[in-house]
Amino acid sequence: MAFLRQLLAEKPVRAGLKFGINENVRLVSITNEEKLREGEVIAKNTYMTFVQYDEKNIPIANSEFSYFNLNPDLDSEIVLNNFIEQISQLTALAKLYNTDAVIDPTEGYEDMEDITKDLRTRKGCKAFNDAIYAQFEESVKEFIGTDSPLLRVKVVSDYKSGKYLQLPKSAAFAELLETNPTALHLTPSEIKNRAKSLEPVVVTSDTKGDTPDEAPKKMRLSGLL
């Protein structure tokens, strides 16, 4: 039975975490290795693999989440917000395992002006991305894996289409499963946004003049006669 359970546990899982609050989830691995798509490097970092387990501790769902690389071509305020958001989320996640976790890639900077200056260069953005991951990895590497503490993980959908699942923007997207009462909830706007992907596609007809049972109307091109 133990051997069968091991085989089941190692079987690839095709299903992903679902929209909403997912229970019995573990953060099993992290990596910052570059990944390719159609031969091009994906502009993302800090890949995190979350696996959901059933009551027999068999994996039933598997999702990978990551962060877009800081991009100096974007508006400086957007870049700064993305910078702060990633640090806040990874710090909150790391502290679930290690209360002493510290993720602060700004150490050594004397003022905000120097930070924003580096966020406007590709070299500076990459240095920040690398530092964030290195500190995150150092904080959690001994605590994550297939035997790590069980979590609840909140998953929402993108705001453009409501189709694609992702982590929410707030720092608190995960908590220990033993947390009671839970602090994770879906907001009305998150539920409404997900509903976009469930709306039926409305097919509009062609213009009336193009219908086959009517002769096309003559067009008057004023100014040509």
Burial class (CB in 10 A: 0-12, 13-18, 19+), 210: exposed
For residue 217, what pLDDT band results from cuts at 50, 70 and 90?
Answer: very low
Cβ 28 vs Cβ 51: under 8 Å = yes
DSSP letter, residue 198:
G
User: What is the pLDDT, as a whole number, of residue 144?
Assistant: 96
Report the length, in residues, of the chain. 225
User: What is the pLDDT, as a whole number, of residue 13?
Assistant: 77
Closest CA to 46 of 119, 136, 154, 148: 136
The helix (H) or strand (E) run that includes residue 44 is strand 44-53
Cβ 164 vs Cβ 198: under 8 Å = no
Give the contacts of 213 (CB within 8 A, at least 6 positions apart). Answer: none
Tokens of 153: 């993980």
Tokens of 115: 């930070």
User: What is the secondary structure of 113-157 as a DSSP string?
Assistant: HHHHHHTTSHHHHHHHHHHHHHHHHHHHTTT-STTSPPEEEEEEE
Tokens of 100: 């002493």
CA distances from 83 to 33, 80, 119 (A): 19, 5, 9
User: What is the pLDDT, as a whole number, of residue 202?
Assistant: 59
Sorted by where each begins, the domain ranges of the chain are: 2-199
Give the contacts of 165 (CB within 8 A, at least 6 positions apart). Answer: 16, 17, 18, 19, 63, 155, 156, 157, 158
Closest CA to 105 of 74, 68, 136: 136
Cβ 60 vs Cβ 42: under 8 Å = no
User: What is the pLDDT, as a whole number, of residue 196?
Assistant: 86
pLDDT digits (tens, 9 = 90+) for 159-214: 889 999 999 998 889 999 999 999 999 999 999 999 988 776 555 554 444 444 44
pLDDT digits (tens, 9 = 90+) for 47-71: 999 999 999 999 999 999 999 999 9
User: What is the pLDDT, as a whole number, of residue 221?
Assistant: 38
pTM for this entry: 0.83
